[in-house]
Amino acid sequence: MRKRRIIRIISYISAFAVVFAASGMLLNKAKAAYEDVLGRVRLSGLTSLCEYVHDMSSGLRILAVSANENVSDAAAFVTSRTMGALGSIACFESVNTENITTFLNGVMGFAEKFSDSIDEEQRKTALDFSDYAQELYYHLSDVANAVVSGEYSLVENKGIYKKSDAEYFENKLDFSNGRENEIFSYFADASARVMQINNKALITEQEAKENAAAFLDIHAQLLRSEGENNYKGVQIYRFYHNETTVNVCRYGGGICSVETSHLCTGSELSFVQAEKAAESLMKKLGCGDFEIIHSENNDFSVRFVMAPVINGILFLPATVNTEICLGECAIIGFDASGLALNYPANLEKLTETADVSKLIPENLVFQKSGICYAEIDGAEKYCYLAECLLRDEKVFVFIDYYSLRTLKTVIL
């Protein structure tokens, strides 16, 4: 009897072992299938990235030699290939592609602002970008070849799916040739110069001086000049008067910024008077329609954040910051660099609106929403801007206009 029991136990154990072995085989097959699919996706993304970067380099060279009447076509080609490259690189971990992503976003900002003219400095910049893109292409091609030859693995070794002991290819994906500081520093100035050359006339230093004097309501002879300079990507003429610095845009002649070390004391004026002063300033800058999106009360001043409205859409890349002294209703701080770089702009007319109040987290109190155009994570998007409250703090929630997906939340 005891012998039979032992035989039965052994039989049961054997049966379980067979079941577990079969399950293990199925699991291993599933893992292998997953690895194969994952590898094909990653290799396809890497191959596409190589092709798009190669085309982008060629397009930048064409842009560098294009006649004015062909500039917009060449720039459109570069923009389309850069967008394709950004789409391909999205399937990789961002921490492994920082230099590449920064470069692609920079080229995108440079190319998408061209309309119908290009100068020699822009041609040189396009060639520099093309050279860097070409080296990036060679690097990506080397990585792709190493993957095909088995030197690099498409599956990360430290993950649960492990098909090869070769080094994970994404660890070798990002690129540097030692010129990043030089190349990446071009982006803001290059994009600004494209915008300024194509849309606004270059003024003389004397004309800029007259504009600064008129803004401060003083005689131009009272201003001291520091000549040409750069302020947040805007080419400017800089002038001084007592404790005040005025930066005037070289292209277009608008006031770019005002800074003063003058101490603001007293609060004789009301918030409403300060608000009217800020609104008057926006009209003086040529913004027919605008909105105050945020205000902040200080002891003796009020700071306003304002943005122009185009086709009913709040245009956030052209936001203006100004601080009004309540003691004398004078401007003690002013920054319109975004306005100088990006305004005016051609925006779509979006008529359909969605009720986004239901998309707001329960701990936020929804107040109102509208459509805006904003730059989020390096990409410009149409969004719903939902204004909410978190206790006594103001919160902005950016929701994609098309997908209704929450993109960003900002606590002011």
pLDDT in tens, 234-261: 889 999 998 899 999 988 899 999 988 7
Q: How confident is the model at residue 21 (pLDDT cuts 50, 70, 90)?
A: very low
Q: Mark out the alpha helices in 222-355 (DSSP H runs).
A: 271-284, 337-342
- Average pLDDT, integer, range 95-102: 90
User: Would you call the peptide bond into 344 cis, given omega within 30 degrees of 0 as the criterion?
Assistant: yes
Tokens linked to 275: 């608000």
pLDDT at 379: 76
pTM of the model: 0.56
DSSP secondary structure letter of residue 269? S
Q: CA 11 → CA 3, 4, 6, 7, 211, distances in Å?
A: 12, 10, 9, 6, 97
> Bridge-partner residues for 310, per DSSP?
313
- Average pLDDT, integer, range 369-392: 90
- pLDDT above 50: residue 23: no
Residue 373 CA to residue 384 CA, distance in Å, equals 9
Q: CA 307 → CA 302, 330, 350, 357, 359, distances in Å?
A: 16, 20, 18, 23, 25
- pLDDT above 60: residue 39: yes
Average pLDDT, the chain: 83
Tokens linked to 242: 């007592």
- Average pLDDT, integer, range 8-18: 50
Domains of the chain by residue range: 2-199, 357-411
Q: Does 294 or 8 have the greater pLDDT score?
A: 294
- Average pLDDT, integer, range 309-327: 91
For β-strands 255-260 and 301-310, DSSP reports them as unpaired
Using DSSP's 3-state secondary structure scheme, residue 403 falls into coil
Q: Is 248 exposed, middle or buried (0-12, 13-18, 19+ CB in 10 A)?
A: buried
Whose tokens are 């005040």? That residue is 244
